[in-house]
Structure 1
Amino acid sequence: MSRSFGDDYPICVACGVQYPLSVAASAASATAHCFICEDERQYVGYAGQQWTSLGELRLQGHTVEIREEIPGLWGIATSPNFAIGQRALLVPGDDGNVLWDSTTYIDDAAVARVTELGGISVIALSHPHYYSSMVEWSRAFGDAPIYVHERDAQWIRRNDNVVLWSGDTHEVLPGITLINAGVHFAGGTVMHWRDGVDGSGALFAGDIFTVVADRRWVGFMYSYPNLIPEHPVTIRKAVDLVRTFPFGSLYGAWWNRIITSDAHDAVIRSARRYFEHIGAPLDGMHL
């Protein structure tokens, strides 16, 4: 029997975030606004605000691509590419899998495949641009809790099963810890996996620390599409927070945007290079 998803819930075409049904009527008359896209970190498309839904995406032939990013770590993405185009990651742990970030499209085939891979015990989000259909994924896996930092609570469009956490760090499963880096958004979060695939530790960064085209480095931005740099004080705090967590690899928000070795040093030297180019003092950076 086919699973029931929220096929009629409106989804912003630009960012891929699913909205409550209360938006649906106004979306049809083009009077609804995407709160997330109207923020200065994102944008409304040149054709104006546009909406779709899971039902429409299914009719258009969208599916969920699930494949190993590296052996032992599975990526999940809407295919063909949609909205921002991020891929989520299914991170294994002794007490269950964590879905790191989310993706917009979901269907029965995706749920079946993820179930074969061990299911989802916890969902953790880096920032609002990747909230997408997080509630649908949660409901498909027994109402798995969705962890969002409380500093980003204002951006949540559907709050079913959302757990707001506070402070600098929070362990969601043994050995898997959320870190409030505060880059990009006040609640901008990265996730540390103590063991990593190879035992050297891993950091899941979304685009809080974004893996750039030259995959020896990461970048720090308040807005990527609008090219607004992040504040030096914010970056300094973020680097100090992750400094105490060992990690050999780092996983960005898109397929193949990964740093496979010496990732801890890559974050620190990337911060040093950023400070040098914007003319910010290196005092207190321990770089």
Structure 2
Amino acid sequence: MNGNHLKICTECGTQYPNDYNNDLCIICKDERQAMPQSGQTWTTHEKLLEKHSVKIKKINEHLYELLVNPGFSIGQRALLILSESGNILWDCIPLLDEGLVEFINTKGGLKAIAFSHPHYYSNMKMWAETFNCTIYIHENDRQWVANGGDFIEYWPGNQLELWDQLKLHNIGGHFEGSSIIEIPWMSENGTLLIGDTMYLSPSMKHFATMRSYPNRIPLPLHEIRRIEKRFEEIQYDTIYGFYPYQNVNNNAKEIVRSSFAAYQ
């Protein structure tokens, strides 16, 4: 695969092009992520393949979870949406092995990759080259793209309609371009994939909405209220978030409403 020898940040999994000469990852030195106390370290996709693979888990007939196993970087997951007019990968993981490529191809390949925010960009160019697909990134997060090539389509505004009723919504907050994807037909009242636009607590009873989750940097109250209104405009009952445990079925909107109500 192209990109096997390009350096990858071991903290967040972002892959950089050959001409990147900075010693630090632009994602990790930002206040929303964190540079390890031990300092910046790098690996390559080729090295990752020596000890890691991708674990594929079926969530439902139209949704699969993809995880690097054993865990790597910040442990993010990608979600593969199977849709009649073309499949879409929601967010990305920094590993693409032969088994995963074969699996996705048996499901019809990829029409596009769409992102919640820059912590998921990883080796997106390698994915796009492999499946010859478009990458959708909100224009507000253009500055964080290190290695995307000609596959990226920067989309503007609050909403982008794709196909089969799939919609991208720019929510903001965590990043200016933070976005979610709406899948109206995946559950009775609609399903949202949110990355960590909101972050579900281990109790499964509260969603936090912050500028930085690892560094505990809050958002101003007026921004919280703006985001609250955005979620009220969308119909849903199910949410899939950043980590594998962050799945809320049936009563997701009630939890989101009570979570925003807690901000005074």
Q: Does 1:21 align with 2:18?
A: yes
Runs of 4+ more than 4 Å apart: none
Contact 1:125-1:131 at 8 Å conserved across structures: yes
RMSD across aligned C-alpha pairs, in angstroms?
A: 1.3
1:150 equivalent in alignment to 2:139? yes
Which residue of structure 2 aligns with residue 283 of structure 1?
none
Give the match for residue 279 of structure 1.
Answer: none
Residues 1:63 and 1:5: Cα distance change in structure 2 (over 3 Å): farther
* Counterpart for residue 240 of structure 1: 229
SS of match in other structure, 2:19: helix
Aligned partner of residue 126 in structure 2, secondary structure:
helix
After TM superposition, give the deviation of residue 117 of structure 1 in Å: 2.3
Residue in structure 1 matched with residue 103 of structure 2 by the alignment? 113
User: Is the Cα–Cα contact under 8 Å of residues 124 and 148 in structure 2 kept in the other structure?
Assistant: no
Inter-partner Cα distance in structure 1 for 2:105 and 2:201: 32
Identity %: 33
Partner SS, residue 162 of structure 2: strand
CA distance in 2, matches of 1:203, 1:124: 13
Match of 1:169 among 159, 175, 178: 159
Q: For 1:186 and 1:119, locate their aligned partners in 2 and report how far apart those are by CA, in whole Å.
A: 30
1:82 alignment partner AA: F
d(CA) in 2 for partners of 1:39 and 1:212? 24
Q: What is the number of equivalent residue pairs in this alignment?
A: 263
* SS at structure 2 position matched to 1:164: strand
Residue 70 of structure 1 deviates from its aligned partner by 3.9
**Matches of 2:155 and 2:243 in 1, distance apart?**
25
Which SS does the other structure have where 1:154 is aligned? helix
Q: Deviations over 1:143-167 (max 9, x none)?
A: x111111110000001221110010
Q: Deviations over 1:252-277 (max 9, x none)?
A: 0111211111212221211111x13x
Match of 2:41 among 22, 37, 50: 50
Is residue 5–residue 46 contact of structure 2 (8 Å, CA) maintained in 1?
Answer: yes
Task: Supply the AA of the counterpart residue of 1:270.
Answer: S
Check whether the contact 1:178–1:191 (CA below 8 A) recurs between aligned residues: yes
Q: 1:76 aligns with which of 59, 63, 66?
A: 66
Alignment partner, residue 258 of structure 2: 269
Structure 2 CA distance for aligned equivalents of residues 40 and 166 of structure 1: 25
The one-letter amino acid paired with 1:36 is: I
Of 174, 185, 190, which residue of structure 2 is paired with 1:195? 185
- Alpha-carbon offset, residue 71 of structure 1: 4.6
Residue 78 of structure 1 deviates from its aligned partner by 1.1
Q: Does 1:66 align with 2:56?
A: yes
Cα displacement (A) at 1:200: 2.3
Instruction: Give yes or no for contact 1:69–1:256 (8 Å, CA) kept in 2.
Output: no
Asked if 1:90 corresponds to 2:94, the answer is no
Distance 2:162 2:125 in 1: 18
Distance 1:70 1:215, change over 3 A: farther
1:53 maps to a residue whose letter is T
Distance (whole Å) between structure 1 residues aligned to residue 70 and residue 189 of structure 2: 33
Whether the aligned pair in 1 keeps the contact of 2:62 and 2:83 (CA below 8 Å) is no
3-state SS of the aligned residue for 1:270?
Answer: helix
Q: Residue 172 of structure 1: CA displacement?
A: 2.1
How far apart are the structure 2 equivalents of 1:202 and 1:216? 18
List gaps (5 residues or longer) in structure 1.
277-287
